[in-house]
A and B are shown apart, each in its own frame.
Chain A
Amino acid sequence: MTQFVLATCRLAGLGRIAVCVSAFLATPAATANADEFLSDVVPLLTRLGCNSGGCHGKATGQNGFKLSLLGFEPDLDYQAIVKESRGRRIFPAAPERSLLVLKATGAVPHGGGRRIEFGSDDCQTLVRWIDQGARPAAADERVLERITVVPERRAFDPGEVQQPLTISAFFSDGTNRDVTRRAVYLSNEPEIAEVDDDGVVSTKGRGGQFAVMVRYGDQIEVFHGTVMFKRAIRSSSQQVVATDPSPFDRHLAAQWERLALEPSAEASGEEFIRRATLDICGTLPTVEEVTAYQTDVQPNKRARLIDRLLSRPEYASYFALKWADILQNRGRGYSTGRQRAGTTLFADWIRDCIAANVPYDRFVSEILTAVGSQETNPPAVWYRTVRTTENYVESVSQAFLGVRVQCAQCHHHPAERWSQADYFALAAIFARVGRKGGFADAEVPTNEIIYLADEGQVVHPRTGQVVQPRPLGGPDFELNRYDDPRRKLAEWMTAPENPFFARTMVNRMWGHFLGRGIIHPIDDARSTNPPSNPDLLDALARDFVASGFDVKHLVRSICNSRAYCLSSAPNETNRDDVQNFASFHPRRLPAEVLLDAMSQVLDAPTTFSAVAGTFPAGTRAIDLPDEAVPSQFLDVFGRPNRSSACECERVDSPALGQALALVSSSELQEKLMAENGYVHKLAKNGRAHADNVQELFVRLFARPPRIEELNTACRFLEAAPDRSEAYQSLVWSLVATSEFLFNH
């Protein structure tokens, strides 16, 4: 039929084509409401994926046709569709023959294939808009102000359930309409729930929480879904709600109850001391510490253990390592060791701050506002690696605000409110960071003096306008000529009401101890990536602020929480749960911790050397000043190269190299065979094998061997002709077990 109409139109002349086609395609409703570029066409292109990053929305466009990513720059899109290429994409005399329509319908070859059917509603929208003059967004055109999702949230029973969503768009002229079929949907947990193009959410039978991002035009809304777990045994979490004074535990328990999750049993004392010592101090507990803890019958022994661990220097060392990663205290890139003084100074300063429990707001402010010579003022060393507009914005937003705004450098953030203007306004805060003096080592500047320069500005790359300093989501700063915008940023950031700062830190620390942030990933907070337990996150953040940004207090709060004390053994209800902390999630030890653990249990310290000097005997990996201290073991096990503020640089996923290192690492071999090492002492001590195995297990795993383990080990030792080799083999095999390699 369509072919027939078109043929007829060809014969009748162009003047009739529009009339014929319009008459054929237009529906009564469509003729009543003119289609508009902003509120109809651009959302349609987004829905069809035309302006996606993989197609015409990428920076270079596709086959000569470039649209702004997801339609965040409709003015540019209009130019591209209507004006560019001599207007060939639009054929006003025959709208249905416009290249735009022909491509989309696949009537002519299209790399993206057929996106819409000819005659479909979507096709009609395009044709009508062209037929109505292909008008740009008028100055008085109604503007899409918001969208709503109905329902906003729902708890689903276990099993496979469907929930259609209804999306309404609200415009500046007071009108609204249903745009359910024109919106774009994306689930953040497709393993829990999927959503189709028509906005129908389908759960997959797995418990957990998910969010569906709904985008229409430049507006984003989120549907929150919760899928209940299959409750198998009686919940004890309700009891916690009633009796536990800790608000954090109450929020945890409420969440478990809501999801019908049964938390795992409590971790044993042995598990807890190993876990807490590794997590707080990056160190294995000694046999004596394990024994003392196990025999401690006084109340609150967990809390007292946490306090003891927080007062140990290893706590400062371990968290200094973590922050040195985040703060990119980087040694690579230099040709000599002359920059080592700077990285050491900064690393030591971080360690001292943590040891002294300097309030987190002060710690961050010192870094953000650092001035002076990098030779004498450690926080100024942060500006050695962080030195470009991109570095400033991305490091600050990711490290301290938990927001990833990298996308907004080139285009509006696809899943958040951040625009290019936001990005460069944040960059403008650092526009007057001046540098002078210093020297270049392999052309990398070091020992510079950081100061507030007289001038400096940031220009919006698209508009060419000078951008005023403004924090993310904050107001323009009121600055006089001699004010340092960074001080204003620090004040804004560390204000109690700041929506990002405290939440980011508590989430980061929660992620450190529980293996996963309440917002996950920990530095990617956005409405489309909601926290798994918002009440818990808010409570932790409020408490952190109220404590005066006391980091040790925060650690105590987390480590004394019920979630941290749970066993890593799942039960039937929480086996699939990764979001709600109903069990402890084992994770591999970080590279430095693992190497130190091996050094400790084998009583064979690692010798670290570098260009500038040799580190004193006994220097631990968690005490190394930067990532450039040579160690193949650390590199294989995921030591980050500190090129960004993302903790994701530290890789804990398994790799073949790690397995090979455990099998053939000369580092490990030397420790096993060290002349004064533990294995040597075991072989020479003349004690019964059973006694040695008992001690060995406590030393490595903080627990005695199970009877079958003891028997197996003793049989092996007794059967071996060479006692020394036998112990080496036994210890080697134990060191290579997951139980040793993991914190659990």
Chain B
Amino acid sequence: MSGFTTGIDARRIAALCLSVSLGAVVGAASAGRAEPPNPVLNTLFPPGGRAGTSVDVAIDGGALDGTATLRFSDPSIVATKGEGSRFTVTIPAQTPPGTYDVRAVGINGASSPRSFVVGSRPEELETEPNDQIGSAAHLPLDVVVNGRIDKPGDVDCFRFSATAGQRIVLECRAERIDSQLRGVIEVNDALGNRLAANRGYTGIDPLVDFIVPVDGEYTVKVFDLTYAGGGAHFYRLEIDTGPRVEFTVPAVIERGKTTRVALFGRNLLARPAIVRQAGGEASGSVGDFLGVSTATNSDLDGAFDRIDVDITPPDPLDRNGLRLRAAQWSVDGFAFRHYPGNTPLMLSVTDVPVVLDSAANHSPGSAQEVAFPCEVSGQLTSGDEQDWYAVRASRGDVLWLEAFGERIDSPVDLDLVVLNASGERELAHFADCLENLGGYRFPTNHLDSAGRWVAPADGRFLIMLRNLTGGLSHDPRRVYRLSIRREEPDFQLAVVSRRADQPAGLNVGRGGRAVLDVLALRRRGMTGPIRVTAENLPGGIECPEIWIGPGVDRAPLIFSAVRECPSLTCNLTLVGHADLGGTEVTRAVCGGTMIWPGQPMPSGRLTGDVCLATGPEAPLLLTAFPSEAAVDQESVLDVAVEIERPIEGPTAAVDLTGVDLPELVANEVATIPAGQNKGWISFHVPASLLPGPYTFALQAETVLPQATPSPGGNQSGMPVALVSNPITIHVAEARIGLEIDPRVPKRIARGQIIQLRFAAQRKHGFIGKIHVEMAAPGVVVGLRSRGVTLVGQSDSGSLQVIANDDAPLGRQPFLRLQAVGTVEDKPVYRAARFVELEITE
């Protein structure tokens, strides 16, 4: 009992810490149901370091009690504990530049991830005071400054010396490394004259690129656009003369092939490029600001150097070091590094031939002929440019067209249209992908258009692609991919925490369970079931395989830890399996996370790993039976539930609901009365649910009693929620369609007799007897009826239902009319309908 009490207090303290640490951010969570302690790593500063060095970092977050170490998605990066919340991170010299995940691991398990950047340049730390140019630190070139806008109104100033003719790129990484800073860069000359400012180049992260006009000292200011500030407003400022690749042509290369690729970027060549001033004439003179204007949407023509290289995609594709947004999970690609560049670039990969767009395909009359399957790599440099392609298709050909723009970091909003051969009539106009599987936690929606098109006749058809947000400017970064393929199903999977109020790691209490949502992106008409397995789990951790049913896009993946499980932290290998055209295809499951809670716009990203850790002992264990069952459409599934309480004591009522039920299955609520540990919940499986396997789970909500009443006499305990083991059902086609006459009374008085009329239709070749009777989980209480058997052609009947004189008032949960179809006198097929019948006086 005392241990139980201690556990409760620990949780309360942890919850208190959490609320103090996160303030309003977590306020919403603490005001509702208590969750297990959820370690959240808000900040790690500095947010990166140079390969081959050791960096002292400090962490901050919530429920980080007893954090003993930091865990990186690249296991070669290690940390040793320092004083308090400080750690020393050692980055091996061979660690490739890129953005990795780091988690804090403590007594509550592993935290949510934060980005940690590994660079190849020397690094500096910003030190206050530096709000004025006069107090700015002098920095060398080719350096990365780790800084933080500590408080509202803070401005960080730095000085550097440069030589006339040098091309210097100043780039602030903030949003891309999980910071809340909306950064602004200003560059001033020695006299304090502002030479340039930028407030967003790569998304909202700013960049200034300029050729130094005269030898001398320059200053750069970094601040928040709205003068907000705080610990979460960290950044990495690069003052760089090294090569930086921004995009490639083609934007996608074929898997397994070596392709000549043009790299476009800054400082790729030894000499300054011929440049164009913002909105002005071509010029190579010093003092130009290369495409990153302080004013108009500058024309970026000529801002980029180009070099050509041969690239062969690695096998398997390696995305280590890339930080990708949630919507990018559907893009196959790998981390391409052009050394000595400081940052990797995601280069897309496809398994069909790649075609480059021609320069003169901007009208229907000059449409470029392409044959599918293929992927076109093109550019929409000018704002109103249209790229036209022509395909030949036969009547009934099913094509899937998919444009990639936003998802490959191209600043475009692509519009994709199929037209007749003359280009005068639209046959299909594809919309943005608005489907957001992950919601606020992991927004998967994006602006890239895609869709299915069936050729209405033999002939030539045109495909037009344009940028809806091009404006008046020229921007060579506007590359795109256009996939033109037949209906070849495929899928991708990601797992994300169920918590909607804050980011979370996956921590399993010993003797308890934890759950991740598996999200399935079904591509090119894929509708079949997907099996998901966790492989090479450490001892003491279990994760039964689950099924994402036909047409369903999510299912719970549930991990449990035995009570004796040692404390551990591991990376999970999750694999999805599906039958695609008779072949089992496997896909690795990627991890996803919310970045910050409480934001007006959801922000989620992929994680470099899927980490599991053990947490504190679980107070309850919810187990559902059976864990696997065969059910017919139009029948009822009964699930028995048992709650295991390692420590005995008074128990409160438990409310049960389904979790991640297929959308077509109506959720139910059942209650296990206080003092009991077993109960039932039932679900009706509708005829519309496609046959196949589905996995869902149950969630129980109850209240743990207070060990000691509060001074005010408040006896209310701590509400908790727990999830059951997964329940997999194999849905079979209905052979009996059971309907209850809607005119059947909804009430029956004690001692009253009513007729319960029904119809039972035989389906799909079933011709046997059907026996119909009242049923309920366990036994029917207070009602009597005799079953009816329908034989021959008869398909309707009536049950005479008698309410006992002492029948309990009210409704019996999950009372149903149940039909059993027999084959050779064996019960084979089932159907059921819930009966809404209230017993009255």
Contacts and interface: CB of A to CB of B under 8 A. Distances in A.
A binds B: yes
A79 interface: no
Contacts of A487: 384, 472
Main secondary structure of the interface of B (DSSP, over half): loop
A616 B153 contact: yes
Contact of A377 (B197, B447, B469): B469
Interface in A326-364: 337-338, 340-341, 344-345, 348-349, 352-353, 355-356, 358, 362-363
Contacts of B470: 371
B338 interface: no
A64 interface: no
A483 B447 CA distance: 20
B327 to A, nearest CB: 12
Nearest to A356: B295
A33 interface: no
B601 A447 contact: yes
A614 B227 contact: yes
B600 A366 contact: no
A707 to B, nearest CB: 40
B466 interface: yes
A379 B223 CA distance: 22
Contact of B386 (A340, A482, A612): A482
A518 interface: no
Interface in A358-384: 358, 362-363, 365-366, 369-373, 375-379
Given A369-B472, A376-B203, A337 B226 contact: yes
B279 interface: yes
Contacts of B182: 341
A482 B466 contact: yes
Contact of B225 (A344, A363, A434, A441): A344
A613 B155 CA distance: 12
A182 to B, nearest CB: 52
A334 to B, nearest CB: 11
Interface in B190-207: 194, 197, 199-200, 203-204
B298 to A, nearest CB: 10
Contacts of A378: 199
Contact of A366 (B152, B155, B297): B297
Contacts of B674: none
A451 interface: yes
Contact of B294 (A345, A352, A614, A617): A352
Among A337, A341, A372, A616, the most chain B Cβ lie within 10 Å of the Cβ of A372
A477 interface: no
Contacts of B194: 313, 355
Contact of B413 (A365, A372, A441, A482): A372
Contacts of B153: 613-617
B660 interface: no
B155 A439 contact: no
Contacts of B413: 372, 449, 451
Given A352-B197, A377-B471, A436-B432, A345 B225 contact: yes
A452 B468 contact: yes
B226 A344 contact: yes
Interface in A601-656: 609-610, 612-617
Contacts of A454: 429
Contacts of A358: 279, 295-296
Given A372-B413, A449-B469, A613 B296 contact: no
A484 interface: yes
A616 B133 CA distance: 14
B384 A349 contact: no
Contact of A355 (B203, B227, B295, B432): B295
Contacts of B197: 348, 352
B388 to A, nearest CB: 11
Interface in A422-440: 434, 436, 438-439
A178 B199 CA distance: 66
Contacts of B294: 352, 355-356
Contacts of A616: 131, 153, 155, 223, 227
B295 A373 contact: no
Contacts of A612: 152, 226-228
A434 B471 CA distance: 14
B634 interface: no
B555 interface: no
B226 A366 contact: no
- Quick one: which of B194, B278, B384, B413 has the most chain A CB within 10 A? B413
B279 A613 contact: no
A371 B295 contact: no
A449 B153 CA distance: 29
Contacts of A313: 194
A349 B432 contact: no
A483 to B, nearest CB: 8
Contacts of B600: 338, 439, 441, 447
A377 B384 CA distance: 16
B556 interface: no
Contacts of B468: 371, 434, 451-452
B178 interface: no
Nearest to A336: B600
Given A372-B413, A482-B386, A617-B153, A349 B295 contact: yes
Given A352-B294, A616-B155, A439 B469 contact: no
B592 interface: no
A605 to B, nearest CB: 13
Contacts of A482: 386, 464, 466
B229 interface: yes
Contacts of B226: 337, 340-341, 344, 610, 612-613
Contact of B296 (A353, A373, A481): A353
Contacts of B293: 352, 356
A375 B155 contact: no
Interface of A: 313, 337-338, 340-341, 344-345, 348-349, 352-353, 355-356, 358, 362-363, 365-366, 369-373, 375-379, 434, 436, 438-439, 441, 447, 449-452, 454, 481-484, 487, 609-610, 612-617
Given A348-B225, A449-B469, 17 more contacts: A341-B182, A341-B226, A344-B226, A358-B279, A358-B296, A362-B279, A365-B472, A366-B471, A370-B471, A375-B204, A439-B601, A451-B413, A481-B426, A613-B152, A614-B153, A616-B153, A616-B223
18 contacts: A344-B226, A345-B200, A349-B295, A355-B295, A356-B295, A358-B296, A366-B472, A372-B413, A376-B203, A438-B601, A439-B600, A441-B600, A449-B469, A451-B413, A483-B384, A612-B227, A613-B226, A614-B153
The 7 closest A-B pairs by CB, nearest first: A613-B227, A613-B152, A372-B469, A451-B468, A612-B226, A614-B153, A613-B228
